[in-house]
Amino acid sequence: MSLTTPSEPGPPPAPEAGPSAGGAANGPSNDAPPRPPFAQDWRRIARMGAIGAIGQIFISLSNMPVKLDGRAIIEGVLSLGYLSLVVLPLAAGSRVGHQLRREGVPFHRPGAHEVIGGAACGALVGGGLSLLAILIANFDLREPLVNWSPILADLLAFNRGTAFAVLIWLAIGAAVGAAGGLLRVVPPAARRVLSTMVLTLFGAAVLESLTTDLAEGMGIEGLIEWFYAPRGGLTITGAIALAAGSGVLAFVARGRVKGAKARIDALEGPARNRAHLGLIMATAAVLVILPMFAGKLTNELLANVGLFVLLALGLNIVVGLAGILDLGYVAFFAVGSYSAAVLTAATSPKIHPELPWFVALIGVVVLTGLVGLFIGAPVIRMRGDYLAIVTLGFGEIIRLLFLSDWLSGWFGGSQGITNIPGAEIFGLAEVAGTDPRSVFYLVLAFCAIAIYVSWRLERSRIGRAWMAVREDETVAEAMGINTVNVKLLAFVVGAVLGSFSGAIFSAKVGSVFPASFLILVSIVILVVVIFGGMGNIVGVIAGSAVLIGVLGGPKQPGLLAEFSEFKLLIYGALLVWMMLARPEGLIPSVRRTRELHQEELAQDAWLRGQTEDEQDEGQP
Amino acid sequence: MSPAAQQPILETRGLGVDFGGLKALDGLDLAVYPGEIVSVIGPNGAGKTTLFNAITATVAASEGDILFEGESLIGLDPNRVTSRGIARTFQNVRLFANMTVLENVMVSQHCRTRQSVFGALLFTKAFRNEEAEITERGKEVLSFFGSRLTGYRFDQPAYTLSYANRRRLEIARAMATQPKLILLDEPVAGMNPTESAELTGLIGRLRDEWGFAIVVIEHDMEVVREVSDRVVVLDHGVKIAEGDYADVSADPQVIEAYLGRGASV
């Protein structure tokens, strides 16, 4: 399970909740009476407890609890630091009661068994911290483990001594684990209401700076002051009000949202297009109006998210549609930034045509396209792992070229190029980094272009050829597709979209340095695409919003600025969890889901097909 | 139906394929005439699929020449061979499993279509016309197999199809490339007798109604007897017999290749 709550604040059993909830409603025949409360599978509990305990110790020693203690979720009750210590007991407590629902295998109705098992497992997980408290009190391991400190000990003991720490974490673990087990017992409707409440509270706490900022823009600070404590975090009254409100809302709206979605999905032809158009227009309207009320920080954040959306959409074409695993995508971001800088800045060392930004953009597109061709031509002939490794190399080569002495006459080496003017749009407006709102609008416009390009190309002859190449390159070639050209085209289109992001980036920041284009950027964009849902435009946008917006980009702070130190740890944990629990991503493309669950689906389809074919044979 | 006066549509001259010393094909001469159905048979490892791979440029010929409509195919990429007018199916069904049935037959018309990125982005009239055209042709090809691949099946992913339907879709996909010659690699393998009898009929109709020349690799002798104008027998990469089914099946060399020396005595 993940080490963090931020992106999966709902109860971890959510993935299983669906099928078991559906099954319970239908009253399947293999329902069995609840298991007796104390006939537990102790080995399983011990195993999960031990793993959880190690996880807890790891989290503590990563210094996350101490660092994040400063950020309050609910004033005086819960901080992000302590939250990071109750996630694992909850997850383990819930997981230990998990049963597979399979044909022919009895499914025991959840009851006291699950709660007691959860409590036992949670206590073990919590016991990891008790153990750590004892160890810190008796040994000094500060030498290798820098966070082995009295501060951590005090945090664990709530400043009341080691004995208290030992007891309290066993108790907290047991309580939280029991709560996790209880999640399996309560009916699905209640679980939904509960998870909505938790999500709302957590969301409100995380989005604090955003909502405060917006409220100031709209002139309703008074309301916000009632919800948020002066030093951050929700006030207790505010939290209760929010929980109650969202709970009631979830109860009233139960099933309605899903129903509405199902109705839209069931629409056909023009009606469906109209519904989708309506949704898109509404989203666009919100995105256009929202920044007007938002302050600098929020707009800055939105602009950063937008830049990564643009990059992720470009990479999505390469990885998601054409199936070319490009680990050096940052190269195109870099080339876009540098070419825009050289073409617009007066301070560019070698040539400085000082073109207006929009004119320079043409040059940027042409140059990046050429670089895409130049890198792509040798790379594209390789397949699979080899291709990935070579792209990784090219990504670094481009950065090192910009850094090198050899080209420092052109690009300024490690000094980079500074004083890049803002983007001037036909003399109508000047978009500079000092005005994040206008930057956001510029990014938004280019995101719209990128979305349109992705959407149109996917539904064209070229998009189908990309899919065919992704499915089976040999067969695609045998079916008359020039795989080299088609893959090269994907590479170049992706490169051009990435270069837009680069060109806006250089105008926004006002300077470019080789250090802005580390390999880490490539990895983060790839993680965004995978996390969001490869091959799906909405998924990619959602991925950027969650990862870049909440956790922050490679150098850009997110809403949880406190996380910056643990960003990569959390990225990694999220990615691992995602690959295990939901490999198709946050908002998957239908195709991708099918691909990953093909075997299960094929089996169902085969069963259905059996009967259909028998009918077919009967007909002439 | 062997119009010897005509120019062959496909001709191999002394074709050899060498896998590091192992001669998978050795000095093979073969001619296929327009409107003809030729079966290639032979024991496992005789080089039948290698012959298909060499014709479609999936493996390189190490000697000899392959002529299609009088022009050499040597040195072409597989996709160029397809656009010249040769389409194939695969022995182990290889569909684009996650693409829909209709997309499978649309994508294989790639080499017959011309619209570029700009057509797609600007949504031009030419683009829309071309899309409509390939959709139409795709549906036409699928309806050749009756109602099995049509209707709601158009939008189902290919992997949901039953085994026999997958084989049918593979043939449809080959047909959609608008070929002049189709190479079918064991089209009825794994099918039940009813299905294979039906498909045998379809192979005949492919020639009669669509005008394709067809080369079939097949192990099912019922099918071979039913469809073939001519039968070519390969063994160890060498042609050991050629003629109509009755002649070939009586040929002692063929019997020996299949059953071994002692059995014929």
What amino acid occupies position A590? V
DSSP string, A140-157: --TTT-TT-SHHHHHHHH
Contact flag A461-B110 (C-beta cutoff 8 Å): yes
CB pairs under 8 A between A and B: 124
Contact flag A468-B99 (C-beta cutoff 8 Å): yes
pLDDT of residue A1 exceeding 50, the answer is: no
The answer to whether the beta carbons of residues A124 and A52 sit under 8 Å apart is yes
Contact flag A479-B115 (C-beta cutoff 8 Å): no
Give the percent of chain B with pLDDT over 90. Answer: 66
Contact flag B96-A601 (C-beta cutoff 8 Å): no
**Model pTM?**
0.85
Chain B neighbors of A613, CB-CB under 8 A: 162, 164-165
Given B107, B130, B159, which is nearest A468 (Cβ)? B107
The answer to whether the beta carbons of residues A156 and A165 sit under 8 Å apart is yes
Question: In terms of Cα–Cα distance, which of A532, A537, A535, A533 is closest to A550?
Answer: A532
Question: In terms of Cα–Cα distance, which of A7, A8, A30 is closest to A17?
Answer: A8
Our CA-based measurement puts residue B163 at a distance from the nearest CA of chain A, in whole angstroms, of 9
User: What does the pLDDT look like over A287-310, one tens digit per residue?
Assistant: 988 888 888 888 889 999 999 999
**Mean pLDDT in residue range A510-523:** 92
Sheet order of strands, B86-88 included: B86-88, B181-185, B213-217, B37-41, B230-235, B238-243
Comparing A386-390, A435-439, A602-606, B127-131, which segment has the lowest mean pLDDT?
A602-606
Chain B neighbors of A584, CB-CB under 8 A: none
What confidence score (pLDDT) does residue A147 get?
A: 87
pLDDT of residue A618 exceeding 60, the answer is: no
Give the percent of chain A with pLDDT over 90. Answer: 41
Evaluate the CA torsion angle A384, A455, B118, A474 in order and state its sign.
positive
Q: Which residue of A has its CA nearest to B134?
A: A461
Give the 3-state secondary structure percentages of chain A, helix then strand then coil, rounded to 5.
70, 5, 25
Among A479, A591, A599, the residue to mutate for chain B (most B Cβ within 10 A): A479
Q: Are strands B213-217 and B181-185 parallel, antiparallel or unpaired?
A: parallel
Q: Which residue of A has its CA nearest to B87?
A: A479
In the structure, what pLDDT confidence band is assigned to residue A617 with cuts at 50, 70 and 90? very low
CA distance A298 to A111: 46
CA distance B132 to A284: 31
Q: Which residue of A has its CA nearest to B147?
A: A616
CATH: 1.10.3470, 1.10.10, 3.30.70, 1.10.1060. Which one for A298-597? 1.10.3470
Evaluate the CA torsion angle B161, B166, B168, B169 in order and state its sign.
positive
CA distance A126 to A52: 8
Our CA-based measurement puts residue B77 at a distance from the nearest CA of chain A, in whole angstroms, of 8
Our CA-based measurement puts residue A465 at a distance from the nearest CA of chain B, in whole angstroms, of 6
Contact flag B160-A601 (C-beta cutoff 8 Å): yes
Give, for all 265 residues of chain B, the pLDDT tens digit.
Answer: 444 557 899 999 999 999 888 889 999 999 999 999 999 999 888 899 999 999 999 999 999 999 999 999 999 999 999 999 999 999 999 999 989 999 999 999 999 998 888 888 988 999 999 999 999 999 999 999 988 888 888 888 898 888 999 999 999 999 999 999 999 999 998 889 999 999 999 999 999 999 999 999 998 888 999 999 999 999 999 999 999 999 988 888 888 888 776 544 4
Domain boundaries, chain A: 1-186, 298-597
pLDDT of residue A230 exceeding 70, the answer is: yes
Q: Which residue of A has its CA nearest to B114?
A: A461
3-state DSSP assignment of residue A356: coil
Contact flag A609-B160 (C-beta cutoff 8 Å): yes
Q: Which H or E run includes A534?
A: none
What amino acid occupies position A181? G
- DSSP class of residue A545 equals I
Our CA-based measurement puts residue A349 at a distance from the nearest CA of chain B, in whole angstroms, of 36
Given B96, B110, B164, which is nearest A471 (Cβ)? B96
State both tokens at A285.
């309207």
Chain B neighbors of A606, CB-CB under 8 A: 162
User: What does the pLDDT look like over A49-72, one tens digit per residue?
Assistant: 999 999 999 999 998 888 888 888
Q: Which residue of A has its CA nearest to B175?
A: A479
Q: Which residue of B has its CA nearest to A473?
A: B96
Question: In terms of Cα–Cα distance, which of A490, A493, A456 is closest to A368?
Answer: A493
What confidence score (pLDDT) does residue A364 get?
A: 96
Contact flag A465-B110 (C-beta cutoff 8 Å): yes
Report how far Cα A126 is from the mean position of its chain's Cα atoms: 28
Given A456, A482, A609, which is nearest B123 (Cβ)? A456
Strand-pairing partners, residue A423, are: A431
Contact flag A452-B121 (C-beta cutoff 8 Å): yes
Contact flag B159-A594 (C-beta cutoff 8 Å): yes
Chain A neighbors of B77, CB-CB under 8 A: 477, 482
Q: Could you tell me which residue, B9 or A23, shows the higher pLDDT?
A: B9
The residue ranges of DSSP E strands in B58-190, in sequence order, are 63-68, 71-72, 86-88, 181-185
Q: In terms of C-beta density within 10 A (0-12 exposed, 13-18 middle, 19 or more buried), how is residue A336 classed?
A: buried
State both tokens at A363.
């040059």
What confidence score (pLDDT) does residue A619 get?
A: 43
Chain A neighbors of B123, CB-CB under 8 A: 456
Chain A neighbors of B190, CB-CB under 8 A: none
Chain A neighbors of B157, CB-CB under 8 A: 591, 594
CA distance B134 to A592: 25
**Phi, psi at residue B241, to the nearest 5°?**
-160, 155
Give the percent of chain A with pLDDT over 70. Answer: 90
Question: In terms of Cα–Cα distance, which of A588, A590, A547 is closest to A570?
Answer: A547
Our CA-based measurement puts residue B37 at a distance from the nearest CA of chain A, in whole angstroms, of 21
CA distance A395 to A411: 17
Contacts of B159 (CB under 8 A, 6+ apart): A594, A598, A601, A602, A605, B95, B97, B98
Given A456, A459, A481, which is nearest B79 (Cβ)? A481
Phi-psi domain of B113 (left: phi exceeds 0; alpha: psi -120 through 50; beta: other)? beta
Contact flag B160-A610 (C-beta cutoff 8 Å): no
Q: ipTM higher than 0.90?
A: yes
Our CA-based measurement puts residue A442 at a distance from the nearest CA of chain B, in whole angstroms, of 21
CA distance B101 to B159: 9
Our CA-based measurement puts residue B97 at a distance from the nearest CA of chain A, in whole angstroms, of 7
Q: Which residues of A touch B (CB under 8 A)?
A: 452-453, 456-457, 459-465, 467-468, 471-472, 474-483, 489, 493, 591, 594-595, 598, 601-602, 605-606, 608-610, 612-613, 616-617, 619
Our CA-based measurement puts residue A459 at a distance from the nearest CA of chain B, in whole angstroms, of 8
What confidence score (pLDDT) does residue A90 get?
A: 93
What confidence score (pLDDT) does residue A294 get?
A: 84
The answer to whether the beta carbons of residues B94 and A472 sit under 8 Å apart is yes
What confidence score (pLDDT) does residue A25 get?
A: 42
Given A460, A482, A602, which is nearest B160 (Cβ)? A602
Chain A neighbors of B116, CB-CB under 8 A: 462
Chain B neighbors of A619, CB-CB under 8 A: 147
What confidence score (pLDDT) does residue A5 get?
A: 36
Our CA-based measurement puts residue B254 at a distance from the nearest CA of chain A, in whole angstroms, of 32
Measured at the CA of A478, the angle between CA A472 and CA A484, to 5 degrees, comes to 70
Q: Which residue of B has its CA nearest to A592?
A: B98
State both tokens at B63.
């000697």
What confidence score (pLDDT) does residue A326 get?
A: 93
State both tokens at B11.
């001709």
Our CA-based measurement puts residue B157 at a distance from the nearest CA of chain A, in whole angstroms, of 9
User: What does the pLDDT look like over B54-85, one tens digit per residue?
Assistant: 999 999 999 999 999 999 999 999 999 999 99
